[in-house]
Amino acid sequence: MPTTPQPTAKPRIDTFDYLRGFFIVVIIIDHLWRWPNIFQYISGRGELWVSAAEGFVIISGLLVGYIRGYKNRKLPLKEVSVTLIKRGLLLYLWMIITTLSLVTTSWVLHFKGSIAHFPEPKGDWLALIGNVLRLDFVHTLTHFLYLYAIFLVLAPLAIWLLRAGKAWVIGVTSLALWCVGFITHIEWMQWQILFFVPVIAGFYIDEILNKLRQLSRKSRLLLQYGFISITAVTLLISAIIILPLEPGMFQYTLFSREPLTIERILFSFIWFIGLLSLFQLLMPILKRYFGWLLSVFGGRSLTAYIVHIIPLMLLQLLVGDTDNFWINSLLAIICVLLTWAILKIPSINKVIPR
C-alpha cells in the first residue's frame, strides 16, 4: 500500500530560535511598561524606528515558509493547508480567551500599576464580546494572535503559489494589499507584508544559504558586518532621538506604526537581517550564557506570548507605578523569569499552543 512521502528531516536552525526568543523577552519587558529600567537601552521601550513586534512577525513568516512550505513540500497541499488553517482558528480562539480575560480582570480588579483596558464603558459585556468576535478590538498585550491567525488562514494560498514557482505573485499581491491597507487604515493588510515576504524567503532558505556559502569568506563577512553596522548605527540614531523623551511622547512621521509606513517596513527587514547576522556571530556565547532562557522562549514562543500576561497582571496588581530605575529593572526581570517558569511546567503545551 503506498504511503505519503515524508520530507527529509532537517535540524532546527538555532539562530532562528534564539532570535525569536530574544524578541519574546523584549516584548514582555515592553508590555510591562515600567520605565525607566536598565533594559530600555536594549528594547528601546518599543518606541524606536522598529520594535520587536515587527521582528516577531518577520521570523514567524520566515518559519512558516521554511517549515510548512519547504520542509513539508512533499506532503499533500491539503494536509499542509488543514494544519495551517486549524492553527489559525486555534489562535483566533486564544485571542478571544486572552482578550476577554484581560478586560474582565481589569474591570473586576484594581491594578496598582498601569494596564491597557477596553475602550467601552466598564461592564458593557455585549459590546466587549461583539467587538472581540468581529476583531474590532484585540487587547494590546496579545495583539499578535489576531494578526497571526489571519496570516495562517491565508498562508495555504502562498504555499500553493510557491509550489507552482510563482513567488512573484505573492510579492506583488502583498505589496498591493499593503497599499490598500495603508489607504483604508486596515491594520492586517499593512502588516501582512512583514509576514508573506519572509514566507518567500523561508521557502527558498536553503537556496539562499547555498548561494551565500559559494561566496568568498571575505564577501560573506562583508555582508554580515555590513548589515550589523547599518543596524547598529541606525538603531543608535533612533535611540538618541527617542529615549531622552518621556515614554509615549515621540510623534512619528516617517517611521509610523499606525499606519505602517514603507520606511518602517524597509528598516524592519534591515534590522532583522542585522540582528540575525549578529546572533549567528555570537551563537557560541549566547548558547553558553543565555541558552537556558532564549532556547526555551524561542522553542515555545507562542506559549510564552500567551502566558506572559499572567505574571504581568500579577505584578501590575501588586506593585504600583514608580520611576525608580532599579525597582523597575527588578520587576522586568521577575516578569521574564516567571514567564520562563510557567513554560517549564510539565505538559503546559497540552493546554496552550506552542
Predicted structure pTM score: 0.94
Cell digits of residue 92: 483566533
Pairwise CA distance, residues 76 & 20, whole Å: 28
Cell digits of residue 23: 524578541
Closest CA to 204 of 158, 150, 173, 263: 158
Considering only the C-alpha atoms of the chain, give the largest distance between any 2 of them, rounded to a whole number of Å: 69
Closest CA to 26 of 4, 55, 68, 66: 55
Q: Can you give the pLDDT of all 354 residues of the chain as single tens digits?
A: 444 444 444 456 899 999 999 999 999 999 999 999 999 999 999 999 999 999 999 999 999 999 999 999 999 999 999 999 999 999 999 999 999 999 988 888 888 888 776 666 777 888 888 989 998 888 999 999 999 999 999 999 999 999 999 999 999 999 999 999 999 999 999 999 999 999 999 999 999 999 999 999 999 999 999 999 999 999 999 999 999 999 988 887 889 999 999 999 999 999 999 999 999 999 999 999 999 999 999 999 999 999 999 999 999 999 999 999 999 999 999 999 999 999 999 999 888 998
Range 95-128 burial, b when 16+ CB lie within 10 A, else e: bbebbbebbebbeeeebebebeebeeeeeeeeeb
